[in-house]
Chains A and B, each alone.
Chain A
Amino acid sequence: MKLVRSELLKIRTTNTWWIFALIMLPLWALTLGINWLQTDALAAGNTEGVPPEQIDQVRALMDQDALAANLYTNGQLFGLLIVMLLGVVVVTSEFFHQTVTTTFLTAPHRTAVMAAKLVAAAALGLVFWLLFTLLNIPAGAAILGSVDVGPQLGSGAVWRAIALNGLAYLLWAILGVGLGVLIRSQIGATVTGILLYLGGTIGAITVLSLLANRFGEWINKLQLLVPSLASSLMVSGVEIPGNPPRWAGAAVLIGYAAVAGAIGVLTIRRRDIS
Chain B
Amino acid sequence: MSDGQWSPSTGQIVVSGLTKEYKNVRAVDNLSFTVEPGRVTGFLGPNGAGKTTTLRMLLNLVTPTSGTATIGGRRYADLTDPLRHVGAVLEASSAHKGRTGINHLRVICAAAGLPKQRADEALALVGLTPAAKRKFKGYSLGMKQRLGIAAAMLGDPRVLILDEPANGLDPEGIRWMRGFLKGLAHEGRTILVSSHLLSEMQLLADDVVIIAAGQLVRQGPVEQVIGSMAQGQRVRVRTPNAEELTTALKAQSATVAVDEHGVLQVDGVDAPTVGRTALAAGVELHELTTERPDLERVFLELTAGKAGIR
* Contacts from A to B (Cβ < 8 Å): 2-3, 5-6, 9-10, 13-16, 93, 97-99, 101-109, 270, 272-274
Residue among A98, A106, A107 with the highest chain B CB neighbour number at 10 A: A106
Question: Which of the residues B61, B76, B111 comes within 8 Å of A101, measured between beta carbons?
Answer: B61
Question: By the criterion CB–CB under 8 Å, are A274 and B53 in contact?
Answer: yes
The range of chain B's interface size is 20 to 34
Q: With CB as the reference atom, state the residue of chain B lying closest to A113.
A: B111
B267 within 8 A of A: no
Which of A15, A103, A270, A272 is the one whose CB lies under 8 Å from B111?
Answer: A103
Asked if B303 lies at the interface with its beta carbon under 8 angstroms from chain A, I say no
C-alpha spacing A103/B99, complex, angstroms: 15
Partner of B79, one of A3, A9, A10, A108: A108
B99, A13: Cβ atoms closer than 8 Å: yes
Which residues of B are found within 8 Å of A14, using beta-carbon distances?
A: 96, 98-99
Could you write out 12 A-B pairs with CB less than 8 Å apart? A6-B111, A13-B100, A16-B98, A97-B93, A97-B94, A99-B95, A105-B83, A105-B90, A108-B60, A108-B79, A273-B56, A274-B53
1/0 contact string of B75-90 vs chain A (CB within 8 Å): 0110100110000101
Residues of B within 8 A of A98 (CB): 91, 93-94
Determine if A2 and B111 form an interchain contact, defined as CB atoms under 8 angstroms apart.
yes
Q: Are B110 and A274 in contact (CB under 8 A)?
A: no
Interfacial residues, chain B to chain A (CB-CB below 8 A): 52-53, 56, 59-63, 76-77, 79, 82-83, 88, 90-91, 93-100, 103, 106-108, 110-113, 151
Complex CA gap A16/B94 in Å reads 18
In the bound assembly, the distance between CA atoms of A10 and B105 in angstroms comes to 11
Asked if B56 contacts A274 (CB within 8 A), the reply is: yes
List, in ascending order, chain B residues with CB within 8 A of A274's CB.
Answer: 52-53, 56, 61-62
**A107 vs B91: C-alpha distance when bound (angstroms):** 18
A103 to B59, CA, bound (A): 12
Residue of B nearest to A10 (CB): B107
Name the distance in Å between A133's Cβ and chain B's nearest Cβ. 29
Cross-chain contact B63 with A270 (CB below 8 angstroms): yes
Name the residue on B nearest A14 (C-beta): B98
User: CA–CA, A268 to B17, complex, Å?
Assistant: 26
Known: A13-B99, A15-B98. A107 touches B90 (CB 8 A): no
- Inter-chain contact A6/B82, CB cutoff 8 Å: no
**Shortest Cβ-Cβ A-B pairs, 7 listed:** A6-B111, A6-B110, A13-B103, A273-B61, A272-B62, A108-B77, A97-B96
With both beta carbons as reference points, the residue of chain A lying nearest to B103 in the complex is identified as: A13
- List residues of chain A with CB within 8 A of the CB of B110: 2, 5-6, 9
> B161: nearest residue on chain A (CB-CB)?
A105
How far is the CB of A21 from the nearest CB of chain B, in Å?
Answer: 16
Chain B contacts of A2 at CB under 8 A? 110-113
- Apart from A105-B61, A272-B63, 16 more pairs, CB < 8 Å: A5-B110, A5-B111, A13-B103, A13-B106, A93-B96, A97-B95, A97-B96, A98-B91, A99-B96, A101-B61, A101-B90, A105-B82, A106-B112, A107-B111, A272-B62, A273-B62
> Chain A residues near B61 (CB, 8 Å)?
101, 104-105, 272-274
The chain B residue with its CB closest to the CB of A104 is: B61
Whose C-beta in chain A lies nearest to the C-beta of B108?
Answer: A106
In the complex, which residues of chain B have a beta carbon less than 8 angstroms from the beta carbon of A102? 94-95, 108, 151
Which residues from chain B contact A108 at a C-beta distance below 8 Å?
60, 76-77, 79, 82
Complex CA gap A101/B88 in Å reads 10
* Complex alpha-carbon distance, A15 and B88, angstroms: 28
Q: Which residues of A contact B111 (CB under 8 A)?
A: 2-3, 5-6, 103, 106-107
Q: Across the interface, which residues of A come within 8 angstroms of B83, CB to CB?
A: 105-106
Complex Cα gap A272–B20 (Å): 11
Contacts of B98 in A (CB 8 A): 14-16
CB distance from B115 to the nearest CB of A (A): 12
Closest to B113 in A: A2
The complex places the Cα of A14 from the Cα of B100 at a distance, in Å, of: 9
Complex Cα–Cα for A33 and B263 (A):
89
Contact partners of A6 in chain B: CB under 8 A: 107-108, 110-111
Contact B95 A13 (CB under 8 A): no
What separation, in Å, do the CA atoms of A219 and B111 have in the docked complex? Answer: 48
Residue from A3, A5, A103, A105 with most neighbouring chain B CB atoms (10 Å): A105
Cβ distance A228 to chain B, nearest Cβ, rounded Å? 30
Contacts of A97 in B (CB 8 A): 93-97
Contacting residue for B59 out of A16, A105, A107, CB 8 A: A105
For residue B29, give the distance in angstroms from its CB to the closest CB of chain A: 17
Residues on the B chain within 8 Å of A272, using CB: 56, 61-63
CB-CB nearest in chain A for B106: A9
